[in-house]
Amino acid sequence: MQCDVSSDIQLLSVEWWRRIKNDVFVITSTSNTYKYSGSTISNPSLTIITMTESDQGFYTCVAYSEIGEGKSQDIKLMLKSDLCNGTIYSPALSASLHFKPVANNSVTNSYEICGKDRKPAATAFCIKTDTFSSEIKNVNIHDYCFVTSIEDTSDKLEEIKKTEINSSNTETVLLQLKNLTTTTNHLTVYDVITVIEILEEFDQIGNLSLPDVTYVIEIVDNICKVNTNILQQVQDKDAGTNRILQILDMMVVSLDMENVTQADIFTDHIIMQVVSVQSTEVPVIGFQLDQLYFALNATRKLSSETDLDMDNLDVAFLLPPDLLSDTNLTKTVVVYIYKDLKLFLTKSHNTNEYTNSRVIAANLKIGGSLINSLDGLNVKTFFKATTDKIDVNCGYWNYSSNSLSGGWSTDGCWLNRTELGRHICLCDHLTNFAIIVNIEGEENLLDNLLINGLSRLGLLLSIGGLSCNVISFMIFRTLRKKHQSIILFNYSLSLLCFLVVFVTGISQTDNLYVCVTVSVLLHYFMLVSCMWMFVEGIQIGNGIVKMQRVAPISLLKCSLVAWGLPAIPVAVLLAKDYQLYIGGTKARLSIRAPSMSKLDEKRDNRKRIRAAVSSNVLLGLTWIFGFLTIDKASVVFQYIFVFLNVCQGFFIFLIFILGHREIICNEKKEKSLEKGDSTDKHSSAVEGKTIDTRL
């Protein structure tokens, strides 16, 4: 039994009182240690190690200080076996009556209510029949109770739906909805949808008082108690649970905090905490829920990251402090923490992800406006995973996913690090956050690991091959005179820069400016690579179909376009919104084709055709396998697609070396001959000098 004690004055002792009728028994830290633990200043809670029937009763936590004592509310403790409930069919009402669980020898009421006065349809008495069982006896039907059918609730909801809701009747309507939804076993799919439609009407009212918002939270909590199959049908039919989450967001906007500085609303499934802070006060920038149990006293308000208790953390969030420091307007921080996932249902055919943590919603209202985008800043969320899964994705609930029916998404959220078993995520917007796991990814974990390893190996081969291309071009001057090799050099250089930036910068997410810089460079070098691939295509096309005397394309113009044009869209996007992102010497080369015989021309054309086919297969047609991997296709195509594309740089290296092996070999021979001629001349000169001396 939980007991939290806080006092500005030093405590002297803590004890528990157990009351049975008029007798009171005191339990202290020195009581039977084999039976009890706790009841101390450091641990005021009480644990009964071995509970028996004689331990039932009312318990009270009492704390003593120098100036007096403080008592908690009474806690009623009873064995579960001593509770009884049941269902009894009533011929008089032509309906089954479901009774609430109560202790033995106690009166219980039915969940069903009468249509006329909204009182319980029946009462009964819980009688213990033997040591381990109890029964409902002495059922008494309420006089003149003749309407207990489902249609009564449905008709009443339809009447409320037809009512014009305004500021004068909001409390009345909400109270009616709360009472009608308290008994959930009669609620149908259409009843729940009707309740949702009525709650959506409150968006037109404007400001809502704290009691009104409390009613809304309690109504939503009642809906959470509806059978999960019914809620799934509500979601499948009309995106109902997704609309409920949007209603809760609407409450953040509608809540009138003019005379309220903070509010705590706690139900069985939802915790809502609201703090309104002026700019002159120490701001609350986050909330934390401790692990082990879902309760209001397990939450804590955070003013900085140092307030976090990582050892006991279940879920938490921290807003960026800069978001609250640059305004004189009133700031309202709101958190929703959900006990379970009954509101986070996707449509039955959209179940690729599931959550691996508790869900927490971070909301901020400044000057009456709800803040969504964080203008380059990031909200930090902390999660304790519910299961040990390797696949960790930071996600959020996207209301627009799956054709506006809602679903989990990872856009704008990423994993920052894992510390003390807690996953720490960053997101560039505010909404409902959680750790999500892809079901397909979990089922194919081995394939994912192998594909990741294959990708890393391919990247290393590509970087090595492209580096050899660039070095070879710089060493052998004959290559620098050929049209084809110059184009391939530029393509290799741009793709090499892209891969190097990707490998070194893809994990640099901690610093916003570094992250943006990496994104900009990746965008630019990818566009440059595409431009040079386009130039390569033109060159190959000309090589296949051109006549002998057609002049080659101008490399100077190609260089200006291929390296300069991609900078324009990159600069425009960077100037418009930078958050969209979370060469050589000028020389005119004119190579004239030499005169060729018919046989030489045929051989040359065959080489061009082979080059065209190989280049298209290696650089373009590999994306066919990408289309074959869509929609759960064979994993073999995934391996082929990844291998061919990550090894693209290595394939270009093979094309470059094999296509110019004769040139490279000839230049090596020329250098050897030049070195030999130089040696012969030097020897002759020395020999001549010797002869002259002799003469």
Please state the domain count of the chain. Answer: 4
583-625 per-position pLDDT tens digit: 333 332 222 233 333 334 445 555 555 555 555 544 555 666 6
Residue-wise pLDDT for 36-70, tens only, equals 788 888 888 888 877 777 777 788 898 888 777 88
**Inter-residue contact 462 to 498 (CB < 8 Å):** no
Same domain? 525 vs 581: yes
End position of a domain, from candidates 409, 443, 477 = 443
Q: Please give the Cα distance from 459 to 587 (Å, whole number).
A: 33
Find the CATH number of the domain harbouring 335: 2.60.220.50
Residue 410 dihedral angles phi and psi, to the nearest 5°: -115, 0
Q: What is the tens place of the pLDDT at every residue in 129-146?
A: 665 566 777 888 776 564
Are 114 and 229 within one domain? no
E strands, 401-554, in order = 407-409, 413-419, 422-427, 432-438
| Residue 415 sits in the same domain as residue 494 | no
In a shared domain, residues 238 and 173: yes
**CB contact at 8 A, 463 and 499:** yes
Same domain, 350 and 230: yes
Q: Please check whether residues 534 and 593 belong to one and the same domain.
A: yes
564 in a structural domain: yes
Tell me the range of 121-135, 306-320, 351-365 where mean pLDDT is highest: 306-320
Each residue's pLDDT tens digit, 359-399: 999 988 887 778 877 877 899 999 998 887 666 889 999 99
Could you tell me if 352 and 494 lie in one domain? no
Q: Report the pLDDT averaged over residues 155-167.
A: 87
pLDDT, one tens digit per residue, over 542-557 is: 665 554 444 556 777 8
Q: What is the CA angle 298-303-308, rounded to 5?
A: 50
- CA-based nearest residue to 417, from 408, 409, 429, 426: 426
Cα distances (Å, whole numbers) of residue 346 to 67, 183, 350: 56, 25, 6
| Residue 526 reports pLDDT greater than 90 | no
Q: Summarize the confidence of residues 570-580 as an average pLDDT.
A: 75
What's the pLDDT at 290?
92
Average pLDDT score, the chain: 76
Instruction: Enumerate residues 6+ apart whose C-beta is below 8 A from 206.
Output: 167, 254
User: Which amino acid appears at position 327 of this protein?
Assistant: T
- pLDDT, residue 610, reads 57
End position of a domain, from candidates 94, 119, 141 = 141
- Domain housing 348: 150-443
Question: Which is more confidently placed, 634 or 387?
Answer: 387
CATH for 587: 1.20.1070.10
Question: From CA 223, how far away is CA 194, in angstroms rounded?
Answer: 12
Q: Examine residue 684 and state whether it is found in any structural domain, yes or no.
A: no
Instruction: Tell me what the mean pLDDT of segment 522-547 comes to.
Output: 75
* Residue 3 within any structural domain of the chain: no
Q: Specify if 530 maps to a domain.
A: yes
Count the Cβ atoms, other than its own, within 10 Å of residue 566: 20
CA dist 179 to 4, 153, 173, Å? 32, 10, 10
Q: Which residues, including other chains, have CB under 8 Å from residue 506's CB and lie 6 or more apart? A: 518
In a domain, 466, yes or no: yes
The CATH number for 58's domain is 2.60.40.10
pTM value surpassing 0.85 = no
Helix (H, G, I), strand (E, B) or coil at 684: helix
Q: How far is CA 44 from the centre of its chain?
A: 38
- Does residue 674 fall inside a structural domain? no
Q: Is 194 a residue whose pLDDT tops 70?
A: yes
676 inside domain: no
Shared domain check, 477 and 387: no
Residues 134 and 236 in one domain: no
Residues 230-234 have a mean pLDDT of 91
In a domain, 678, yes or no: no
Q: Which token pair is 442? A: 């979990």
Residues 88 and 62 in one domain: no
Domain boundary, last residue among 443, 460, 484: 443
126 and 155 co-located in one domain: no
Q: Which string of b and e fits 232-258 if b means at least 16 CB within 10 Å? A: bbbbbebbbbbbbbebbbbbbbbbebe
CA dist 609 and 544 (Å) reads 6
Average pLDDT over residues 273-289: 78
Q: Which residues pair with 274 in a beta bridge?
A: 263, 334
Q: Are 120 and 100 within 8 A, CB to CB?
A: no
Same domain for 101 and 223, yes or no, is: no
